[in-house]
Amino acid sequence: MKKLENKVAIITGGAGSIGQITAQLFLEEGARVMLVDLNEDALQQAVRELGGENVKYSAADVSKSEDVRRYVDATVKAFGKIDMFFNNAGIEGVVKPITEYPEDMFDKVIAVNVKGAWLGIKHVLPQMNNGGSIINSSSIAGINGSPNVSAYITSKHAVVGIMRAAAVEAAPRKIRVNSVHPSPVDNQMMRSLEEGFAPGQAEAAKKELENTIPLGRYAEPEEIAQLVLFLASDDSRFITGTTQVIDGGLSVQ
């Protein structure tokens, strides 16, 4: 028996690295999936690559409530229900100390990573089946501080607050809400941050970061997807309100 047979999922940031690979895993486990992203070309390509009748897309800006309502309605129209919500869209902002951090970029990171996550839960919950599962993408940046990415750190800590509040509010309907907290993942978002940490020396910045991780490497997007699958499926049926760290030991030091 597949783990997500007959289940319907929404994945925001669905055209991105972690979102798309999670969609692939969900489809393999029998789910039907609505991909949501800002980038329509990337969404079309993702749907082509994933293939089949069980994946569709809805282009949306997760920070705008009318767009959020639209992707929720599109999911119910296409697949009839919602069982799982991977609340995953996010942006990294820029690399600058707080004193030099552009205020408009701070607002943008908060709009996407915080308001987007909150709006998603606000509009998905009324349409979600009892017994559903919501998984929020936070980060190790939602547990620890680190220099020069204050908007991202602030936003990913806020995701924990949204997760905890929603876990308590949704529990009477047996809907579970958790967050995932990866250390650096080997993909484009980290390439952008490495370039910000050490302009022109991204490879050296990567090596330095890897040396801070007890298991000695970045996470692979597939490894995050496997944790999300566990939280989405009934294998985690008594887990709610938790911060699931997946960081190769980074945060225990």
Residues binding ligand NAD (CB under 6 A): 12-13, 15-19, 37-39, 60-63, 88-91, 112, 116, 137, 139, 182, 184-185, 187-190
> Taking a C-beta distance cutoff of 8 angstroms, is the pair 218, 184 a contact?
yes
Give Cα 27 distance to the centre of its chain. Answer: 17
Least Cβ distance, residue 147 to ligand NAD (angstroms): 17
Minimal CA–CA distance to 160: which of 133, 174, 139? 139
The residue among 23 and 91 lying less far from ligand NAD, judged by its C-beta, is: 91
Amino acid at 183: S
DSSP code for 112: I
108 Cβ contact partners less than 8 Å away, ≥ 6 residues apart: 91, 93
Least Cβ distance, residue 26 to ligand NAD (angstroms): 15
Sign of CA dihedral 91, 231, 118, 165: negative
Sign of CA dihedral 116, 117, 123, 129: positive
The residue among 131 and 214 lying less far from ligand NAD, judged by its C-beta, is: 214
**Given the structure tokens 């902002």, which residue do they identify?**
93
The residue among 65 and 130 lying less far from ligand NAD, judged by its C-beta, is: 65
Least Cβ distance, residue 130 to ligand NAD (angstroms): 27
Minimal CA–CA distance to 84: which of 21, 6, 185? 6
d(Cα 181, Cα 205) in Å, to the nearest integer? Answer: 21
Is 57 one of the catalytic residues? no
Least Cβ distance, residue 226 to ligand NAD (angstroms): 14
Least Cβ distance, residue 129 to ligand NAD (angstroms): 24
The residue among 112 and 134 lying less far from ligand NAD, judged by its C-beta, is: 112
Length of the chain: 253
d(Cα 23, Cα 229) in Å, to the nearest integer? Answer: 10
Least Cβ distance, residue 73 to ligand NAD (angstroms): 16
The residue among 112 and 166 lying less far from ligand NAD, judged by its C-beta, is: 112
Q: How many CA atoms lie within 13 A of 120 on its CB side?
A: 35
The residue among 61 and 129 lying less far from ligand NAD, judged by its C-beta, is: 61
Nearest residue (beta carbon) to ligand NAD: 16
Amino acid at 202: A
Catalytic residue, chosen from 57, 101, 152, 218, is 152
| Residues annotated catalytic, as ranges | 152
